[in-house]
């Protein structure tokens, strides 16, 4: 049987990794796929560098030449960006080609359109590499948990932010110092905004939620809060209370709708998730029949991401000639059964909270604070009061609350910040127990 012919868009880190993995494991991949998989053509910005790396592949500068070539069966997109990538993928599908992509931003923001065109044309769009690098979370959600009703997902799905928080905790360094270290090591981009402000994690969470709950992509509805405002003080206080701070993407099905949120989160230090350090990713899925399952591994990098890309290539090759109606649906549920569900605002979310207040060290202050919380039906689970220095008039108080609705916490913070005995803004970080029962 003739090999499947691949057109590769992008020969950067992931593209080169894909070529390397296909070459090194060619025999095993052919045996698994049932036929050979060969990269015939690739688009690259630096032609000389690309030809030096892959002299056996036809290299072109124009990616549309790859998409339009009649001999290409599958287009692999690892060039990133929104445009012209969206146009390239839609053009590939409309010309009868299948697509493998690692582009989480594109899918989160334009996936509804892309999957609709794929459905119309009978094309396949595979995207395991778009979420959590080499961790097979898409296949797990879409196929491995088919028998289950998924209840919630919580994930460390941005390695840059996890590295920064890990280093701040272990070394006591400031956010700015660790960010520079991450950039020097190549873990963070020159412009790290998408990573440190939670946008990258929000893209990935959008995709996982759509698959888990059988709904369209809703990136615009994800509450997104990054880690740039976190201080070493809060990381230290959390540790003293038995917690660690992680940037989590969380989606949960409730009777009122679906939660979609990315934010720094206190989780108990005894949880496995709390001990995922450095640039590693981890996703915890709670399903009704199986219970809780944790998947952990490299969330980025040349060959870990290429591992997912090549796995998708094998899947598409196996199903290349299959009737479209009998393939695994892109978002796990048959397209005609995808449904809109309400997306909860953060005011409606129920969780627990870490509050840090700088208060004037005098009698009666704590009574004022607890009275406000009691009026709004917010109960305190634990409290930590730091000893003031000999000359200090202000002291830090840290409170952990029981579960409550966010709008009550917001109201409490407004009232507490209005007290003369409170200095500056109150720090609020959400807490999740990640109970697996």
For the record, the structure tokens of 53 come out as 């790396």
For the record, the structure tokens of 96 come out as 């009868």
Query: By C-alpha distance, which of 358, 350, 342 is closest to 408?
Result: 350
Residue at token pair 């399952």: 293
**Whole-Å CA distances, 16 to 23, 128, 132, 253, 290:** 11, 17, 19, 39, 37
For the record, the structure tokens of 392 come out as 């200090």
Cα–Cα dist 65/9, whole Å:
10
Residue at token pair 């609705």: 405
Contact assessment for residue 77 and residue 43, using Cβ atoms and an 8 Å cutoff: no
For the record, the structure tokens of 240 come out as 């003293």
Query: By C-alpha distance, which of 267, 295, 292 is closest to 280?
Result: 295
Contact assessment for residue 409 and residue 399, using Cβ atoms and an 8 Å cutoff: no
- Catalytic residue chosen out of the listed positions 97, 104, 204, 246: 204
Q: Based on the residue annotation, tell me whether 204 is a catalytic residue of this protein.
A: yes
**Positive or negative, the Cα torsion across 106, 108, 114, 115?**
positive
The catalytic residue positions are: 204
């Amino acid at each position: 049987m003739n090999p499947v012919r691949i057109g590769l868009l992008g020969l950067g880190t992931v593209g080169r990794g894909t070529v390397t993995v296909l070459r090194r494991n060619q025999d095993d991949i052919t045996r698994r796929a049932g036929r050979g998989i060969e990269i015939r053509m690739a688009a690259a910005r630096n032609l000389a560098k690309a030809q030096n790396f892959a002299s056996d592949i036809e290299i072109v500068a124009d990616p549309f030449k790859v998409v339009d070539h009649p001999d290409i069966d599958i287009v692999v997109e690892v060039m990133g960006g929104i445009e012209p990538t969206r146009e390239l993928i839609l053009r590939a599908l409309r010309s009868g080609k299948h697509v493998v992509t690692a582009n989480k931003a594109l899918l989160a923001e334009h996936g509804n359109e892309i999957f609709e065109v794929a459905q119309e044309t009978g094309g396949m769009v595979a995207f395991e590499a778009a979420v959590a690098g080499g961790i097979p979370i898409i296949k797990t959600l879409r196929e491995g948990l088919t028998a289950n009703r998924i209840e919630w997902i919580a994930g460390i799905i941005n390695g840059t932010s996890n590295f920064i928080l890990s280093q701040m905790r272990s070394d006591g360094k400031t956010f700015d110092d660790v960010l520079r270290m991450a950039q020097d090591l190549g873990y963070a981009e020159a412009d790290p905004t998408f990573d440190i402000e939670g946008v990258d994690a929000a893209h990935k969470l959008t995709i996982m939620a759509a698959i888990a709950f059988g709904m369209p992509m809703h990136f615009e509805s994800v509450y997104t809060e990054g880690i740039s405002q976190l201080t070493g003080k809060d990381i230290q206080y959390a540790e003293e209370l038995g917690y660690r701070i992680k940037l989590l993407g969380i989606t949960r099905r409730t009777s009122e709708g679906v939660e979609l949120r990315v934010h720094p989160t206190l989780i108990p230090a005894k949880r496995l998730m709390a001990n995922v350090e450095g640039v590693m990713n981890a996703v915890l899925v709670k399903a009704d029949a199986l219970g809780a399952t944790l998947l952990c591994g490299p969330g980025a990098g040349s060959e870990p991401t290429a591992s997912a890309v090549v796995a998708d290539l094998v899947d598409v090759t196996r199903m290349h000639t299959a009737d479209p109606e009998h393939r695994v649906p892109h978002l796990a549920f048959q397209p005609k059964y995808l449904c809109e569900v309400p997306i909860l605002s953060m005011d409606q979310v129920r969780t627990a909270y870490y509050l840090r207040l700088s208060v004037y060290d005098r009698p009666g202050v704590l009574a004022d604070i607890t009275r406000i919380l009691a009026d709004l039906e917010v109960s305190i689970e634990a409290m930590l009061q730091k000893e003031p220095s000999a000359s200090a008039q202000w002291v830090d108080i840290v409170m952990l609350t029981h579960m409550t609705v966010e709008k009550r916490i917001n109201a409490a913070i407004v009232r507490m910040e209005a007290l003369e005995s409170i200095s500056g803004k109150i720090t609020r970080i959400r807490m999740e127990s990640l109970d697996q029962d």
